[in-house]
């Protein structure tokens, strides 16, 4: 086995040193009746060449060379090659969680930079070292809000990503945190503020709102914050499209911001690994889950970084920890850090403006093809659209024949929106692809 | 000393301190559609001012910045990383290459199933191999990390017991367990009751039998346990739990000791998680991403998270219609890129190779144990599996603690072992070499540890001051916690 670095003679010498006659002797402490009798039913080890072939074959059984108008929590953005040049360096790739600060300053410094940039982008005071992904950051934020307010009811916007809501349901079922959904306005696609106001009371721990929401629409965060705060509840603002942060007003009125940084870090990769973020106001710091890196000095008085405030965490507090989360998504967070460094202040703005322009061009092209946008609220880089005449399925079937993956059928999550598609155009969507997809709408409508 | 020589270690400022207005490290293509005015499209109230403090740097500076920072890290690629229970083994580069193949890395989670057959096939194959390795009936690949797998596993137990009208409230956890176990049990809504280990470092069968009553939902056990010992009575433990209607959960953190040698399903485990970033070599990346698949026996299968993969003549598809499921544990289908790497690892080894890796992992741990016996105190006599645990009691007499020895090990060119864990051993040194260390590397490690034992007697001050050869000297963690500085601020901002 090519990953095992011992010659037969060395192995023999080691057995001899230990006074062991056979491999069986090494496992003498496992009761004989519990040892495996049959060899593993897994084919013999393969060469690098064969394994590459296997995965190349799987990749051919996928969607190579398609244009794609799917977003809905996973976005196609161009990734500069420098990201992987950095992230595949063994010094980052093969390091452990940086408990030993003296020989982990590389990881620690990049996490400190990540925390800083997340705080700058979200308008919060502090950000942690990352969470698994956006969907799991949401229940962590909800549990945090319950600890801060010592209340247990949650009000969740129905326009929060349906899968994020489902994940929260799973977590909260046994936490005694009942959640109610708050309607969206069927005209604008934005949070229904009247419905929110009616549901708020003095036992609500948090209001959870996504902006841009699942329909791509920018939410009235300030108004939601005012309502939540009037009743002593926290406002948790969630996002799944980090690229929007380059252009949208940061949710400074929020108490906690939870989101997904996949857009800055990683290709869609069939759903993971991504990288979640969690940021908050300084006063809630002690209730925050996850790792934090802080600045300090070394014994010679030089700036150094280390993991800090770990008394919140499971390895110290055990059953009383703020979360059971152990590690974060450091390597994906590093990718995001490199991306943000490359684009910088101006690049993130330009990126966001290009996304806005492409999506609005797509909306115009689809309207010209007879489709209607059911919502009037302002949208960033994705939006709901109803094809004229033909069904959403017809449009996407036609598109597939032309190597275009169309938008997501909203009926999957919202029965009242059956037949509408959620379509997304990022900076990677080319004009001719957009026009090609619009042709599918037109032709499907003409039957 | 050892293998340490001075080398180039360049200073490097933070990105924010390198920033200068107008520097760029990117270029977007010219916009091929008409530009949209953000204030008109979104309303000026929704459009932000510029991002205060955000960096502006050039591409070459980005490369140099991160390259210099990388040189301040220790990594497996630099040398042995003997962190007990962390299984820091070599991360094959092939796995990085296959995870980045076009078609795989850019697959969208919502692309039509007819265009995702390759992805579904990868998941189904990995599920089958992991079930075979664990001796279990079904596997979900969705949990994002070990602790996330623990939570999924306990929720499965909870759903199963509740489906029988028998909701219970207690989870038993040995005092040697990882901190995630009790933290997870709390998140899953259980009360934690700790079970003391016996003098051999194992679960005491009589104590356990006394603790199991009708309120107990499960025992969470790590096997081999965190002192690196195989739980001799595990089958009897399982029987005692099952007799009273409770379930056996196994934390698979130490599965590197068992693959191909013994299967948890054969000794009574009902549900367990694996850490693909430990046993199956996916890179730790400085703390994630990991993956924590959960394997179950048949009776728990109906409760597995949504969706499951279904095979039919027409091909593979997701099955969302599973009314007894605990629901979703995360969006989409898991850390797919990590799953690809783990499957590549299994394919490279094959069944026999996986078993050989286990043999070498256990051989290496015992070789280190033999090499250090007599120099460091062994708290437990039972044979070691994949890791060996010492205590600092001999060195503590000279005022040298396990944390000091660990820091001194850095001066000899090694990453420290796991310090002060498990909690049941006072001043623990927990050493796990894994199978991917050569005899030469092990011999150097043993020599370094012996040398430190001598230094502890001769010059304890030197050890307490260490590390002395690193770019960064001992870091003041107390100061960091006293007045937390968690982000960079420009001089004027504070």
The pLDDT, as a whole number, for residue B493 is 58
- Burial of B316-335, coded b for 16+ CB within 10 Å and e otherwise, reads bbeeeebeebbbbbbbbbbb
Which residue out of B33, B84, B291, B421 would a mutagenesis test of the A interface target, given it has the greatest number of A Cβ atoms within 10 Å? B33
Going from the C-alpha of A347 to that of each of A247, A252, A259, A350, B423, the distances in angstroms are: 11, 22, 20, 5, 49
Provide the pLDDT confidence category of residue A359 given band limits of 50, 70 and 90. Answer: very high
- A363/A381 Cα distance (integer angstroms): 10
Q: Judge: B351–A104 Cβ closer than 8 Å, yes or no.
A: no
Residue B145 CB contacts under 8 Å (≥ 6 apart), including other chains: A132, A325, A326, A327, B275, B277, B288, B289, B290, B291, B292
Number of domains, chain A? 2
Which residue on chain B is closest to A45 by alpha carbon?
A: B350
With CB atoms and an 8 Å threshold, state whether A115 touches B487.
yes
Query: pLDDT digit string (tens) for B60-114?
Result: 999 999 999 999 999 999 999 999 999 999 999 999 999 999 999 999 999 999 9
Q: A431 and A335, same structural domain?
A: no
What pLDDT was estimated at residue A314? 76
Which domains does chain B carry?
Answer: 15-70 (no CATH), 94-347 (3.40.640.10), 359-479 (3.90.1150.10)
- Report pLDDT for A104: 97
Q: Where do we find the tokens 């996850």?
A: A290
Q: Which of A279, A304, A339 represents a domain boundary (last residue)? A: A339
Can you give the C-alpha Rg of chain A in angstroms? 25
Cα nearest neighbour of A422 on chain B: B110
Cβ atoms of residues B424 and B201 within 8 Å: yes
Q: What is the pLDDT of residue A390?
A: 67
Q: What's phi and psi for B111, nearest 5 deg?
A: -70, 150
Are A257 and A125 in the same domain? yes
Q: What is the pTM of this model?
A: 0.97
The CA-atom distances, in angstroms, between A291 and each of A131, A132, A266, A401, B257 are 9, 12, 21, 47, 29
Contacts of A298 (CB under 8 A, 6+ apart): A102, A304, B472, B473, B474, B475, B476
Residue A333 shares a structural domain with residue A349 = no
Residue in B with minimal Cα distance to A36: B262
Determine, for residues B103 and A59 on separate chains, whether the beta-carbon distance falls below 8 Å.
yes
pLDDT at residue B1, rounded to an integer: 62
How far is B406 from A10, CA to CA, in rounded Å?
A: 28
Q: Which residues of A touch B19 (CB under 8 A)?
A: 344
Residue B82 Cα, gap to closest chain A Cα (Å): 11
Within a domain: A147: yes
**Measured between beta carbons, which residues in chain A are less than 8 angstroms from residue B335?**
272-273
The residues with which B272 forms a beta bridge, in sequence order, are: B250, B295
Query: Which chain B residues contact residue A383 at CB under 8 A?
Result: none
Distance separating alpha carbons of residues A393 and A23, to the nearest angstrom: 60
Question: In the predicted model, is pLDDT for residue A282 greater than 70?
Answer: yes
pLDDT, average across residues B420-432: 94
Asked whether residue A280 falls in the same domain as residue A420, the answer is: no
Mean pLDDT in residue range B207-229: 96
Q: How far is CA B38 from CA A72, A248, A360, B146, B381, in A?
A: 22, 9, 11, 43, 70
- Mean pLDDT score of chain A: 96
B57: Cβ contacts below 8 Å, ≥ 6 apart: A341, A344, B15, B18, B19, B20, B23, B25, B65
Report yes or no on A9 lying in a domain: no
Q: How far is CA A50 from the centre of its chain?
A: 33
Predicted local distance difference test score (pLDDT) of residue A113: 98
**Residues A240 and A109 both lie in one domain:** yes
Distance from CA of B227 to the nearest CA of A (A): 14
Structure token pair of residue A415: 């029965």
Residue the block writes with tokens 């925050």: A288
Interchain proximity B438–A10, CB inside 8 Å: yes
**Would an 8 Å CB–CB cutoff place A84 in contact with chain B?**
yes
**CATH number of the domain that residue A249 is part of:** 3.40.640.10
pLDDT in tens, A18-76: 999 999 999 999 999 999 999 999 999 999 999 999 999 999 999 999 999 999 999 99
Quick one: average pLDDT of B185-192? 92
Residue B494 clears pLDDT 60, i.e. is over it: no
In this structure, are A329 and A381 located in the same domain?
no
* Residues composing chain A: 447
| Res A327 pLDDT > 90 | no
Kindly provide the b/e burial profile for residues A174-200, where b requires at least 16 CB atoms within 10 angstroms of the residue's own CB: bbebebebbebbeebbbbbbebbeebb
Same domain, residue pair A174 and A308? yes
| CB-CB under 8 Å, B66 with A338 | yes
Residue A351 and residue A260 share a domain: no
The total number of residues shown for chain B amounts to 494
For residue A375, what are the domain limits?
67-78+344-446
Show which of A339, A360, A378 is a domain's final residue: A339
Are A228 and A128 members of one domain? Answer: yes
Has residue A182 been placed in a domain?
yes
Contact map slice: A 406-425 vs B, CB within 8 A = 408
Q: Is A3 on the interface with B (CB under 8 A)?
A: yes
Minimum CA–CA partner of A134 in chain B = B331
Give the CATH number, domain containing residue A374.
Answer: 3.90.1150.10
Q: Is A283 on the interface with B (CB under 8 A)?
A: no
Cβ of B473 within 8 Å of Cβ of A98? The answer is no
Residue A166 contacts B, CB cutoff 8 Å: yes
- With respect to residue A285, please indicate whether it lies within any of the assigned structural domains: yes
CB pair distance less than 8 Å for A272 and B144: yes
Please state, for a pLDDT cut of 70, what percent of chain A lies above it: 100
DSSP B141: -
A101, A211: one domain: yes
Q: Do B467 and A102 touch (CB under 8 A)?
A: yes
The residue-averaged pLDDT of B273-291 equals: 97
Query: Which positions in chain A touch B474 (Cβ < 8 Å)?
Result: 102, 298-299
Last residue of a domain, one of A295, A323, A339: A339
A303 close to B (CB below 8 A) = no
Asked if the model's pLDDT at residue B388 lies above 80, the reply is yes
Q: How far is B393 from chain A (nearest CA, A)?
A: 22
A interface mutation test: which of B73, B307, B493 has the most A CBs within 10 A? Answer: B73
- Test A34 with B262 for CB contact under 8 angstroms: yes
Does A32 reach chain B within 8 Å, measured CB to CB?
no
* A13 falls within a domain: no
Give the minimum alpha-carbon distance from A195 to chain B in angstroms, rounded to a whole number: 22
Domain membership flag for residue A228? yes
Q: Are residues A213 and A297 in the same domain?
A: yes
pLDDT reading at A223 higher than 90: yes
pLDDT score of A210? 98
pLDDT score recorded for residue B345? 98
In a domain, A37, yes or no: no
d(CA A369, CA B206): 75
The closest of B476, B370, B431 to B227, measured between CA atoms, is: B431
- Whether the pLDDT of residue B50 is over 60: the answer is yes
Q: Are residues A198 and A312 in the same domain?
A: yes
Residue A36 placed within a domain: no
Which tokens is B399 given? 């005022």
Give the residue-averaged pLDDT of A129-136.
Answer: 97
- Take residue A429 and report the two structure tokens written for it: 């969507």
Cis peptide before B147 (omega within 30 of 0): no
Q: Nearest chain B Cα to A403, which residue?
A: B115
How close, in Å, is residue A232 to chain B by CA atoms? 25
Q: Do B179 and A30 lie within an 8 Å CB cutoff?
A: no
Beta strands (DSSP E) in A211-284 are 234-239, 256-260, 276-280
Record: contact A136-B148, CB cut-off 8 A? yes
Q: Do the Cβ atoms of A166 and B178 come closer than 8 Å?
A: no
Kindly provide the ipTM of the predicted complex, given to two decimals: 0.97
Any B CB within 8 A of A198 CB:
no
pLDDT in tens, B356-385: 999 999 999 999 999 999 999 999 999 999
The mean pLDDT of A420-439, rounded to a whole number, is: 98
């Amino acid at each position: 086995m090519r990953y095992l670095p011992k010659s037969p003679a060395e192995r023999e010498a080691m057995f001899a040193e230990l006074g062991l006659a056979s491999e069986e002797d090494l496992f003498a402490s496992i009761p004989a009746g519990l040892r495996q009798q049959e060899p593993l039913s897994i084919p013999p080890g393969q060469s690098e060449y064969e394994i590459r072939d296997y995965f190349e074959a799987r990749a051919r059984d996928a969607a190579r060379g398609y244009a794609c108008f799917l977003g809905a929590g996973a976005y196609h953005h161009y990734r500069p090659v420098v990201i992987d040049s950095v992230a595949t360096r063994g010094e980052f790739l093969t390091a452990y969680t940086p408990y030993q600060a003296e020989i982990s300053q590389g990881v620690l410094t990049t996490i400190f930079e990540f925390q800083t940039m997340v705080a700058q982008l979200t308008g919060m005071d502090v950000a942690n070292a990352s969470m698994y992904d956006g969907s799991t950051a949401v229940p962590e934020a909800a549990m945090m809000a319950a600890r801060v307010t010592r209340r247990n009811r949650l009000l969740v916007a129905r326009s929060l990503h349906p899968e994020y809501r489902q994940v929260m349901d799973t977590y909260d079922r046994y936490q005694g945190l009942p959640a109610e959904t708050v309607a969206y306005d069927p005209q604008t696609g934005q949070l229904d503020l009247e419905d929110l106001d009616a549901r708020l009371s003095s036992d609500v721990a948090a209001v959870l709102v996504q902006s841009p929401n699942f329909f791509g629409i920018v939410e009235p965060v300030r108004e939601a914050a005012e309502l939540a705060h009037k009743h002593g509840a926290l406002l948790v603002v969630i996002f799944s499209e980090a690229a929007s942060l380059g252009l949208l007003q940061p949710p400074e009125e929020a108490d906690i911001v939870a989101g997904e940084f996949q857009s800055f870090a990683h290709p869609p990769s069939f759903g993971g690994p991504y990288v979640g973020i969690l940021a908050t106001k300084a006063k809630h710091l002690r209730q925050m889950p996850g790792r934090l890196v802080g600045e300090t000095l070394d014994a010679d008085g030089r700036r150094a970084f280390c993991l800090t405030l770990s008394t919140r965490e499971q390895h110290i507090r055990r059953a009383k920890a703020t979360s059971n989360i152990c590690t974060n998504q450091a390597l994906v967070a590093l990718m995001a850090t490199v991306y943000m460094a490359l684009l910088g202040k101006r690049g993130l703005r330009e990126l966001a403006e290009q996304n806005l322009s492409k999506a609005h061009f797509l909306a115009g092209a689809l309207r010209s093809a007879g489709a209607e946008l059911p919502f009037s609220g302002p949208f960033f880089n994705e939006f709901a659209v109803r094809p004229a005449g033909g069904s959403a399925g017809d449009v996407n079937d036609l598109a597939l024949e032309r190597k275009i993956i169309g938008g997501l059928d909203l009926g999957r999550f919202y029965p009242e929106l059956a037949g509408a598609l959620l379509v997304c155009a990022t900076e990677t969507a080319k004009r001719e692809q957009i026009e090609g997809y619009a042709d599918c709408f037109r032709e499907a409508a003409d039957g | 000393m050892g293998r340490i020589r001075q080398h180039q270690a360049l200073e490097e400022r933070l990105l924010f301190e390198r920033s200068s207005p107008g520097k760029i490290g990117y270029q977007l293509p010219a916009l091929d559609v008409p530009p949209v005015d953000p204030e008109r499209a979104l309303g000026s109230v929704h459009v932000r001012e510029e991002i205060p403090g955000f960096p502006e740097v050039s591409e070459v500076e980005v490369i140099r910045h991160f390259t210099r920072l990388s040189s301040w890290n220790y990594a497996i690629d630099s040398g042995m990383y003997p962190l007990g229970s962390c299984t820091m083994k070599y991360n094959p580069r092939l796995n990085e290459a296959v995870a980045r193949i076009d078609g795989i890395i850019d697959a969208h989670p919502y692309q039509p199933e007819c265009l995702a057959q390759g992805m579904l096939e990868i998941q189904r194959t990995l599920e089958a191999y992991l079930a075979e390795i664990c001796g279990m009936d079904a596997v979900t690949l969705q949990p994002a990390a070990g602790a996330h797998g623990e939570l999924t596993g306990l929720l499965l137990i909870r759903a199963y017991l509740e489906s029988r009208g028998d909701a219970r409230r207690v989870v038993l956890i040995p005092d040697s367990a990882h901190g995630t176990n009790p933290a997870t049990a709390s998140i899953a809504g259980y009360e934690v009751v700790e079970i003391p280990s016996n003098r051999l470092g194992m679960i005491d069968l009589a104590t356990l039998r006394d603790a199991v009553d009708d309120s107990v939902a499960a025992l969470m056990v790590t096997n081999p346990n965190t002192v690196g010992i195989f739980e001799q009575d595990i089958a009897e433990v399982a029987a005692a739990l099952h007799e009273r209607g409770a379930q056996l959960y196994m934390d698979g953190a130490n599965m590197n000791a068992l693959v191909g040698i013994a299967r948890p399903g054969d000794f009574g485990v009902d549900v367990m998680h694996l850490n693909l970033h430990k046993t199956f070599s996916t890179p730790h990346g400085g703390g994630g991403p990991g993956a924590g698949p959960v394997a179950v026996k048949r009776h728990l299968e109906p409760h597995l998270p949504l969706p499951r993969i279904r095979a039919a003549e027409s091909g593979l598809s997701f099955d969302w219609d599973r009314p007894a499921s605990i629901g979703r544990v995360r969006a989409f289908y898991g850390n797919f890129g990590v799953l690809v790497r783990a499957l590549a690892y299994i394919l490279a080894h094959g069944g026999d190779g996986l078993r050989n890796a286990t043999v070498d992992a256990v051989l290496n741990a015992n070789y280190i144990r033999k090499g250090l016996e007599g120099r460091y105190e062994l708290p437990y006599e039972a044979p070691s599996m994949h890791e060996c645990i010492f205590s600092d009691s001999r060195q503590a007499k000279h005022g040298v603690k396990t944390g000091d020895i660990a820091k001194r090990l850095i001066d000899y060119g090694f990453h420290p072992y796991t310090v002060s864990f498990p909690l049941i051993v006072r001043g623990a040194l927990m050493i796990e070499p894994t199978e991917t260390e050569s005899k030469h590397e092990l011999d150097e490690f043993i020599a370094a540890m012996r040398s430190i034992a001598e230094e502890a007697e001769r010059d304890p001050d030197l050890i307490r001051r260490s590390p002395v050869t690193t770019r960064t000297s001992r870091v003041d963690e107390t100061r960091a916690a006293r007045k937390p500085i968690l982000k960079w601020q420009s001089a004027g901002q504070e």
